[in-house]
Amino acid sequence: MALFQIAEPGESAAPHEHKLAIGIDLGTTNSLVATVRSGLAVCLNDQRGRSLLPSVVRYHADGSVEVGFDAQKNQAVNPRHTIVSVKRLMGREEKDIAHIEAMPYEFVEASGMVKLRTPAGVKSPVEISAEVLRALKNRAVAALGGELVGAVITVPAYFDDAQRQATKDAARLAGLNVLRLLNEPTAAAIAYGLDNAAEGVYAVYDLGGGTFDISILKLTRGVFEVLATGGDSALGGDDFDHRIYCWVVEEARLQPLRPEDTRLLMMCCREAKEFLTHNPEARITARLSTSEMVDLKLDVATFAAITQTLVSKTLQPVKRALRDAGLRPDDVKGVVMVGGATRMPQIQKAVGDFFAREPLTNLDPDKVVALGAATQANLLAGNKTGKDDWLLLDVIPLSLGLETMGGLTEKVIPRNATIPTARAQEFTTFKDGQTAMSIHVVQGEREMVADCRSLARFELRGIPPMVAGAARVRVTFQVDADGLLSVSAREQTTGVEASVTVKPSYGLADDEITRILQDSLAHAKDDAMTRALRESQVEARRLIEATEAALAEDAHLLKAEETAAITAAIAKLRAAAAGDNRRQINMAMDDLAFETQEFAHRRMDQSIKKVLAGRKVDEIRMGEKE
Amino acid sequence: MDLTADFFSLFDLPRAFRLNVPELDSRFRDVQGRVHPDRFASASEHERRLSMQWATRANEAYQTLKKPLTRARYLLELNGGDVEAENNTAMSADFLLAQMEWREAVMEARAGGDHHELERLYNRLSGDMAGRYKEVGRLLDDEKDFTQAADRVRRLMFLEKLLSEIDDALASLED
Ligand SMILES: Nc1ncnc2c1ncn2[C@@H]1O[C@H](COP(=O)(O)OP(=O)(O)OP(=O)(O)O)[C@@H](O)[C@H]1O
Ligand SMILES: [Mg+2]
């Protein structure tokens, strides 16, 4: 039997081993990967020293895939098979996507999320995003020279459940272990807050290529508490490009354009937009495939005029988030600007005017999200560097509810609830003898189900026949720390219990992920079996390490025979993990997990008691309520 | 301590309506600092589940205790009372009449786009409510008269709703 080293409580017994963890900003336009190196968050660059990776995926005729700068540069050559801004399609049905008719892609009839036909086969936005993630993962593995324990992937705070689930699936497809989905503005707040030792209420205004988020946070001695969040998951720099494009089409009196020309002009419009940030006037010139020439001048004033509605569209969610937080603009101590599109002077001015203070621009709006994600990944991986004892309390952006009679929504969890959170609601049957109930889970603020996003439908069967109104069906919503929802339902009055757990329907089913993984692995050298075995072995090692660390800290919570049972289970698992029988490893893991259940409870209990005992009772002044 | 402990004992606070809110805030942060899933990202599956349950519970407890109305209702519940038990008809006719007058005033101000009047109504109502919450505190903490307290809490439920309606009206004028 192994001998344990007993360390001082609170001190980890495991030798200080740096775990490789990364943070990924999966952007509409640009993506980045960062990590913490010697206590400092840094972006990892490509071989040519560039940190940004354009989120552009090109499928060549031979089925090969290209991601990044070259795909972006040549996007007008084959727009149909060069996918840009795929983030706007994540977790979306065809009918939900704005300007879909202007997209040159070949959409395939499919229920649920849209799918695109490419020379490499029919691809979902999840698979396309996975290409971007894979490119970044490979960059990280090459730069760090070792196996990654996991990644934190950022998502717009205003992403709904379907979009989050899709993002997590994409990361899993890319072979990443997702430590956490992190909201983009929160990631920025972490990077900013830790760097500047900020305290008080801050707003993060994040306008990227395709999404807009506003988050209001309170920073108190290392705790980042999101008070409210809002936004628009289909509003960003792309829309400013589109406004210029419409202006060009009108000014130059262009006839309906071919996809190649549309792309070409959109690229010109984006260049012009960026140019106008530092110049009074931009020239837009292009030779179309019809050999028609476009040659126009756009000045700052015109640009501001044609995009004014977009700018004020961002202020609505800002107002609402402040109201939800119970605050006024002048309660905000600083406004952190994130996202490339916040470089536009009209945005800076509008935000400055609204809050009556200069926005904070002393950080790189492109990198700050990735840096914050890396910082959290480092913490979650268990790399302690001393000063980083901080905690993040985030919220869900949109209310979660159920459909009730008459197509109305009944809210179960309100927006801006701190996660993780759970809530239960009871429902009853409306017909005598009714034995099944269909449950429809929706997300959104509107009263009518039709105006909310449908997340999942499932049926609870096996309700014993009773008179109408007698059954008690308890539907429980649980939102985890990634902001992902699971729902279960159970009939309570009789001994009969029926319960079901659903994952919202827009994510990929687990077997679908397995299939895609296996398909892609069929091309690779090692097959799915060895991969699964490797994963089990890694998992086993992790479990042994965690258990030993727990024993080292808290063995005093156990009776001698309990300690013996746990150490025996560890020894068994260690032996199993040395072999190549995956089933045996998994069984040994289950055994160890079983033996440590009670231990985990006692540790949690002790931990809470300890932190509260640190406070003396006489500290509790009996203040008047607010 | 276990997951079924009441919200006050979860934060080791005295079971009372009059509560030191800043103290609650910081105890909440302390407890989350120990139980939050981010602290257990590389722990075993069981520990991760446990952490999610605790963090969920801590959030629920904090939300309930933070606001005076939910705190009062929770205290009534702990003492076996039920605010929902009686319906509005049990409420005094005077109170219901005053309610209707308030509502009319709000509707009128809203229709007329009268920002100042709405703000005046808001301030008057929240001032009135502060006094009512004091009374609830006395009934719950000192006199332990839960029947009276339940009646006062029911009224406050109406008034909170009215207050948020005025707030909504103010917001819709701002947009
Ligand atoms: N100098 C500039 N002036 C104006 N806009 C700019 C400038 N530089 C970049 N942008 C715009 O910023 C947007 C990209 O920003 P960013 O890289 O932050 O977005 P993203 O992270 O890819 O998108 P999202 O966060 O919405 O998913 C593009 O629309 C780009 O044109
Ligand atoms: Mg971004």
The pLDDT, as a whole number, for residue B144 is 93
Q: Are A159 and A167 in contact (CB under 8 A)?
A: yes
- DSSP tag of A619: G
Q: Which two tokens stand for residue A513?
A: 């992920």
Residue A550 φ/ψ, nearest 5 degrees: -65, -40
Q: Is any Cβ of chain A less than 8 angstroms from the Cβ of B96?
A: no
Question: Searching chain A, which residue's CA lies closest to the CA of residue B44?
Answer: A543
DSSP A81-122: GEE--GGGGTT--GGG-TTGGG--S-EE--SSS-EEEETTEE
Query: Which residues of A does the annotation mark as catalytic?
Result: 25, 87, 184, 206
Average pLDDT rounded to a whole number, residues A179-186: 96
Compute, in angstroms, the gap from residue A48 CA to the centroid of ligand 1. 21
DSSP string across A552-563: HHHGGGS-HHHH
pLDDT at A412 over 90: yes
Token pair for A218: 């309170």
The label of the residue with tokens 């336009």 reads A29
pLDDT (tens digit per residue) in A304-317: 999 999 999 999 99
Determine the average pLDDT of the residues in A330-356.
96
Q: What type of residue is A473?
A: V
Greater pLDDT, A1 or A212: A212
Two structure tokens written together for A455 = 């997340």
Q: Is the CB of A28 under 6 A from ligand 1?
A: yes
Residue A261 pLDDT > 90 = yes
Residue A337 Cα, ligand 2 centroid: separation in angstroms?
A: 11
A600 contacts B38? CB cut-off 8 A: no
Query: Ligand 1 centroid vs A28 CA: distance in angstroms?
Result: 8
Cis peptide leading into residue A420 (ω within 30°): yes
Which of A90-94, A381-385, A487-491, A570-574 bottoms out in mean pLDDT, i.e. has the lowest? A381-385
- Please, which pLDDT band fits residue A109 given cuts at 50, 70 and 90? confident
User: Which of A177, A226, A393, A485 would best serve as a mutation to test chain B binding (most B beta carbons within 10 A)?
Assistant: A393
Element (H, E) at A378: helix A368-380
Q: Do B29 and A316 touch (CB under 8 A)?
A: no
Q: What is the mean pLDDT of chain A?
A: 87
Residues A618, A621, A622: CA angle, nearest 5 degrees: 130
Rg (CA), chain B: 20
pLDDT value at residue A515 = 60
Q: Which helix (H) or strand (E) holds A196?
A: helix A184-196
Q: For residue A404, name the pLDDT band (cuts at 50, 70, 90).
A: confident
3-state SS, residue A386: coil
* Per-residue confidence (pLDDT) for residue A618, from 0 to 100: 40
> How far does residue A165's CA lie from ligand 2's centre (Å)?
18
Pairing mode, if any, of strands A82-83 and A57-59?
Answer: antiparallel
Distance CA A234, CA B118 (A): 34
Tens digits of per-residue pLDDT, A220-244?
Answer: 988 999 999 999 988 999 999 999 9
pLDDT at A6 exceeding the cut of 60 = no
Residue B19: list chain A partners with CB under 8 A.
Answer: 623, 625
What letter would DSSP give residue A56?
A: -
Q: Which residue of B has its CA nearest to A597?
A: B46
Q: Copy the structure tokens of residue A590.
A: 């289950």
Q: Which residues of B137-160 are buried (b: 16+ CB within 10 A; e: fewer)?
A: bbbbbeeeebeebbbbbbbbebbb
Q: Of A364-378, A392-406, A598-612, where does mean pLDDT reach its minimum?
A: A598-612
Q: Shortest Cα distance from A481 to chain B (angstroms)?
A: 7
A209 CB near ligand 1 (under 6 Å): yes
Q: Side by side, which strands form the sheet with A334-338?
A: A334-338, A200-207, A212-220, A223-232, A391-393
Where is pLDDT greater, at A502 or A15?
Answer: A502
Q: Give how far Cα A463 sits from Cα of A107, A434, A491, Å.
A: 41, 7, 7
Per the CB < 8 Å rule, is A615 touching B1?
A: no
The domains located in chain B, with CATH, are 7-66 (1.10.287.110), 93-174 (1.20.1280.20)
The mean of the pLDDT values for chain B is 89
- Residue A85 contacts residue A101 (beta carbons within 8 Å): no
Residue of A nearest to B71 (CA): A625
pLDDT value at A495 more than 80: no
Per-residue pLDDT band at A519 (split at 50, 70, 90): low
pLDDT at residue A623, as a whole number: 38
Tokens of A200: 């008080």
Residue A501: pLDDT above 70? no
pLDDT, mean of residues A334-348? 96
Partner residue facing A597 (CB), from B35, B36, B46: B46
Q: What is the pLDDT of residues B35-81, one digit of tens each?
A: 999 999 878 888 899 999 999 999 999 999 999 999 999 999 999 87
Measure in Å the smallest separation between the Cα of B118 and chain A Cα atoms: 16
Asked if B59 lies within 8 A of A478 by C-beta distance, the reply is no
pLDDT of A497: 62
How much is the pLDDT for A622? 39
d(CA A293, CA A570): 73
Element (H, E) at A596: helix A582-613
Nearest-CA residue for atom 2 of ligand 1: A274
With the most atoms of ligand 1 within 8 angstroms of its CB, the residue from A29, A30, A245, A337 to mutate is A29
Q: For residue A619, what pLDDT is reported?
A: 45
Q: What per-residue confidence (pLDDT) applies to A512? A: 61
Which range has the worst mean pLDDT, A386-400, A464-478, B21-35, B88-102?
A: B88-102
| Residue A617 pLDDT greater than 50, yes or no | no
**Residues in B 136-175 with any Cβ partner in A closer than 8 A:** 137, 167, 171, 174-175
Task: Give the helix/strand (H/E) hosting B103.
Answer: helix B93-111
Q: Ion ligand 2 — residues with CB under 5 Å? A: A 27, 208
Task: Tell me which chain A residue has its CA closest to the CA of residue B5.
Answer: A605
Q: Which backbone phi and psi does B104 adopt, to 5 degrees? A: -60, -45
Q: What is the pLDDT of residues B125-140, one digit of tens each?
A: 999 999 999 999 999 9
Whether pLDDT at A457 is above 60: yes
Using one digit for the tens of pLDDT, what is the confidence trace for A113-133? 899 999 999 999 999 999 999
How far is residue A391's CA from residue A376's CA, in Å, rounded to a whole number? 10
Please check whether residue A180 is in contact with residue A376, taking contact to mean a CB–CB distance below 8 angstroms: yes
Q: Compute the average pLDDT of residues B86-94.
A: 65
- Mean pLDDT, range B31-38, rounded to an integer: 94
Q: Which residue has 């025996």 as its token pair?
A: A568
DSSP letter string over A21-43?
EEEEEE-SSEEEEEEEETTEEEE
Which of A39 and B135 is assigned the larger pLDDT?
Answer: B135
Closest CA–CA distance from residue A574 to any residue of chain B (Å)? 15
